[in-house]
Amino acid sequence: MEKLVIRGGKRLEGTIPVSGAKNAALPLMCAPLLTDEPVTLENLPRLADINTLADLLNHMGVAITIAAGQGGRIRGRSLTFSAAEINDTVAPYDFVRKMRASIIVLGPLVARAGEAIVSLPGGCAIGNRPIDLHLKALAALGAEIDLEEGYVRASAPRGLTGGLIRFPFASVGATENALMAATLAKGTTTIENAAREPEIVDLAKCLNAMGARITGAGHETITIEGVDRLHGCTHTVMPDRIEAGSYAVAALMTGGDVFLEGAVAHDMGAILDKLREAGGIVEEKADGVRVKAGAGGIKGFNIVTQPFPGFPTDMQAQFMALATVADGASIITEAIFENRFMHVPELCRLGADITVTGASATVRGVQKLKSAPVMATDLRASMGLALAGLVASGETTVNRLYHLDRGYERLEEKLRGVGADVDRVPG
């Protein structure tokens, strides 16, 4: 099992190209299940989760053609998905256990094939993330739902029918499933209290390019006029705002100056606001975002995670790492997932001063972190530990590197490109 070895103390300076967004790419890869024509997705990142979902789609009969990305810098791939026929509507446990996002095949499969049998999902162990909203959304469109032996069976042999879907709270995955299923439903579907994340907007853009009739994506109410069929298209995956935010934190922590090529400031409002509050200098440009350390050092800050446009839970661990070396105390409240402080003991192994009380963590900045072997517990926690390693004295080893590979494309290569001393080594 591979490990990341980081020798801290290097100032980061230069340009980091931002990859395509994992959280946008995964639902986009499921959209081709809705049509018998090829769909090409450009700027797909090279990630373990992308490969896992591609394997699942292959299992279902989707043919995937891969072409290398173009350009001198690190670029994503262009993949063409052809679901001319769906040979298998079962998403087995061996696939789904690796990544809970696999549940988003449910909606398009039911809409196109009239049936889906999907294992209950796996993925990061960051708390209880039930799929009941996904199932209630499909039931509102006329699907019959059964749970048996760890699998969800959804069927609509006569097709789905448009209806009202009212979520009790905004759920990104459930909104994506409902959005895709409703494109082929008969009549009009309204989704109330829909998730507003940029990744939802990106999915709607792709679906509309395929012939769907979706309005309101990015707002609390989305309306979908069902169509008889969808066709192929070519769509470019949006830049990854979480990857960009993670490297922005790295720039500030190391006293550096990094240009995040391709980052979209509009999608990162809450992240950039907190970087400024922590003492960073942020320049929003047409082709990216520049982040550099301010003269006054890193200042304490307070965060409460919220659905978009609030501060994203996927940036909580990275900002906790930033808070460990801030001047003063920070309070970080996790309001999305109830078990997303598992990185705290590992940060404390590096010398951090963190006290957790319920859903809040008080982080008192220390003058210096010290190296130690640490264990990644989930995707974003692993990035938080890597960031701490960048400023810790000595050599920090991050174990369970497979967590990082689920969401960060060529991490060590990108970090080395701006001056970090980091290597991937065998376990």
**Average pLDDT over the chain, rounded to whole?**
93
Averaged pLDDT, 142-149: 91
Q: Is 131 annotated as a binding residue?
A: yes
Nearest alpha-carbon partner for 355 in 391, 320, 325: 320
Averaged pLDDT, 151-170: 95
The reply to whether the predicted model has a pTM over 0.85 is yes
pLDDT for 68 equals 53
d(Cα 319, Cα 420) in Å, to the nearest integer? Answer: 19
Residue 209 DSSP SS3: helix
pLDDT band of residue 71 (cuts 50, 70, 90) is very low
Percent of the chain with pLDDT over 90: 85
Beta bridge partners of 332: 303, 361
pLDDT band of residue 124 (cuts 50, 70, 90) is very low
Q: For 238-252, how does the pLDDT look when each residue is reduced to its tens digit (9 = 90+)?
A: 999 999 999 999 999
Catalytic positions are: 124
Backbone angles phi, psi at 312, to 5 degrees: -75, 140
Provide DSSP, 86-155. ----EE-HHHHTT-GGGGGGHHHHHHHHSEEEEEPP----SS----HHHHHHHHHTT-EEEEETTEEEEE
**Res. 127: pLDDT tops 60:** no
Residue 397 DSSP SS3: strand
Q: Is 228 annotated as a binding residue?
A: no
Residue 382 DSSP SS3: helix
Averaged pLDDT, 137-143: 97
Q: Which two tokens stand for residue 352?
A: 């951090």
Q: Is 87 annotated as a binding residue?
A: no
**Res. 297: pLDDT tops 90:** yes
**Res. 100: pLDDT tops 80:** no
Question: What domains lie within the chain, and their CATH numbers?
Answer: 3-18+239-425 (3.65.10.10), 22-228 (3.65.10.10)
Q: Is 22 annotated as a binding residue?
A: yes
Q: Which two tokens stand for residue 393?
A: 């004295």
pLDDT band of residue 96 (cuts 50, 70, 90) is confident
Q: Which two tokens stand for residue 249?
A: 């934190």
pLDDT band of residue 125 (cuts 50, 70, 90) is very low
